[in-house]
């Protein structure tokens, strides 16, 4: 098992780490202990860390990753490990992922011990009061004031790791407000479930390896698919040809209609001119007839007058 324990100061990570080491035969890797061991062994990375620490600087992430890389290759880490104090930031977690991947290893879980910060402060206040009542010396870093600062630092830098591992589906959250034994039992239950899931995933990997044996049938299927595609292509081309011919005939019809549309006004104009001419002739004949009728009327009136005069003369005689 390869694990990371997350949680604010005072959540009980150290106690649970020791129990996990005893139960699962894995090692607890503390960055502080690893740095000191690397410096004492005078390894290449240890000497780099020694110079930085001697100058009072913070050891950079790449140096810490290098020390972890050397440490997890040792024989006692073959069954797994618990990282204590690392990673503390998201960039460190990303660097750890790259390191494990390069070695063909996976992180099994990031176990978060979730606690109530106000309850932690009350615990420290009670412990300090009891130690002072017994006359015992109180550590300078074991006071409510120091704990408040450490909690603020945890929220600012380390707490984002919870979201990081949650997105990767590696986060396991345990109620750290339970008793120590209850927390241990809950961690064991969750880790057993993870082992079962990883065990059930192995047969699927074997099946995936055997899958390429079916390649011999693939070319036959491809040949059948090609032969089936040939008629389909012809069938697809036939409608395309029909569509082309339909377009051509449509163009012809449109051209003929356009020509007719252009000629029609010309024909109509010619016919109109003929009708106009005829109308002019009929109008002129009508005028002549009217004039002749008038002259006839006048002649008749004159003849009638002359007849009346002759009749009067005869009557006098």
Distance CA 24, CA 175 (A): 21
**Residue that finishes a domain, picked among 145, 180, 211:** 211
Q: Are 15 and 123 in contact (CB under 8 A)?
A: no
Is 286 exposed, middle or buried, given 0-12, 13-18 or 19+ CB atoms closer than 10 A?
exposed
Read off the pTM: 0.57
- Does 23 show up as a binding residue in the annotation? no
246 with 181, same domain? no
pLDDT at 221: 47
pLDDT at 52: 82
Residue 136 located in a structural domain: yes
Per the structure, how many domains does the chain have? 2
Q: Which residues are catalytic?
A: 13, 88, 127, 139, 150
Q: What is the pLDDT along the chain (317 residues), one digit of tens a residue?
A: 899 999 888 888 889 999 999 999 999 998 878 888 888 888 888 888 888 877 777 788 888 899 899 899 999 999 999 998 789 899 999 999 999 999 999 999 999 999 998 988 888 888 888 888 998 888 777 788 888 888 888 888 888 999 999 999 999 999 999 999 999 999 999 999 988 887 765 543 333 344 444 444 444 444 444 454 444 445 445 454 554 555 565 456 445 644 554 454 555 445 545 544 544 445 554 565 466 567 646 765 765 676 566 656 656 55
- Does 14 show up as a binding residue in the annotation? yes
- Does 272 show up as a binding residue in the annotation? no
User: What CATH number corresponds to the domain at position 118?
Assistant: 3.40.50.300
Contacts of 127 (CB under 8 A, 6+ apart): 142
Q: What are the backbone dihedrals phi and psi of residue 6, each rounded to the nearest 5 degrees, phi first?
A: -115, 150
Q: How many CB atoms lie within 10 A of CB 54?
A: 9
Q: Are 65 and 75 in contact (CB under 8 A)?
A: no
138 with 235, same domain? no
Q: Which of 162, 173, 4 is nearest to 81 (CA)?
A: 4
- Does 13 show up as a binding residue in the annotation? yes
pLDDT at 37: 86
Residue 43 located in a structural domain: no
Contacts of 23 (CB under 8 A, 6+ apart): 188
107 with 132, same domain? yes
What are the CA-CA distances from residue 317 to residues 116, 303, 309, 312 (Å)? Answer: 164, 22, 13, 9
Domain that holds residue 286: 228-316
Q: Which of 308, 6, 32 is nearest to 157 (CA)?
A: 6
- Does 307 show up as a binding residue in the annotation? no
207 with 254, same domain? no
- Does 147 show up as a binding residue in the annotation? no
CA 208 to chain centre: 28
Distance CA 279, CA 275 (A): 6
């Amino acid at each position: 098992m390869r694990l990371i324990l997350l949680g604010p100061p005072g959540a009980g990570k150290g106690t649970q780490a020791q129990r996990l080491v005893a139960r699962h035969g894995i090692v607890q890797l503390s960055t502080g202990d690893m740095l000191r061991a690397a410096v004492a062994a005078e390894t290449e990375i240890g000497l780099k860390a020694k110079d930085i620490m001697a100058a009072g600087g913070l050891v950079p992430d790449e140096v810490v990753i290098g020390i972890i890389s050397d440490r997890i290759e040792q024989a006692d880490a073959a069954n797994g490990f618990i990282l204590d104090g690392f990673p503390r930031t998201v960039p460190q977690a990303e660097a750890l992922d790259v390191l494990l991947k390069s070695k063909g290893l996976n992180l099994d879980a990031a176990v978060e011990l979730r606690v109530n910060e106000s309850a932690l402060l009350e615990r420290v206040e009670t412990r300090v009061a009891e130690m002072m009542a017994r006359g015992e010396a109180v550590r300078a870093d074991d006071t409510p004031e120091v704990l408040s600062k450490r909690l603020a630092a945890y929220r600012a830098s380390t707490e984002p790791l919870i979201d990081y591992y949650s997105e990767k589906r590696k986060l396991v959250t345990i109620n750290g407000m339970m008793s120590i034994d209850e927390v241990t039992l809950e961690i064991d239950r969750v880790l057993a479930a993870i082992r079962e899931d990883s065990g059930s995933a192995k047969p699927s990997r074997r099946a995936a390896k055997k899958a390429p044996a079916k390649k011999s049938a693939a070319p036959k299927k491809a040949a059948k698919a090609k032969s089936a595609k040939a008629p389909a292509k012809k069938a697809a081309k036939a409608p395309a040809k029909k569509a082309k011919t339909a377009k051509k005939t449509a163009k012809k019809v449109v051209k003929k209609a356009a020509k007719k549309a252009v000629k029609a006004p010309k024909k109509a104009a010619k016919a109109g001119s003929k009708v106009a001419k005829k109308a002019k002739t009929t109008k002129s004949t009508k005028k002549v007839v009217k004039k002749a009728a008038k002259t006839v009327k006048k002649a008749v009136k004159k003849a009638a007058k002359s007849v009346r005069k002759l009749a009067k003369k005869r009557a006098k005689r």
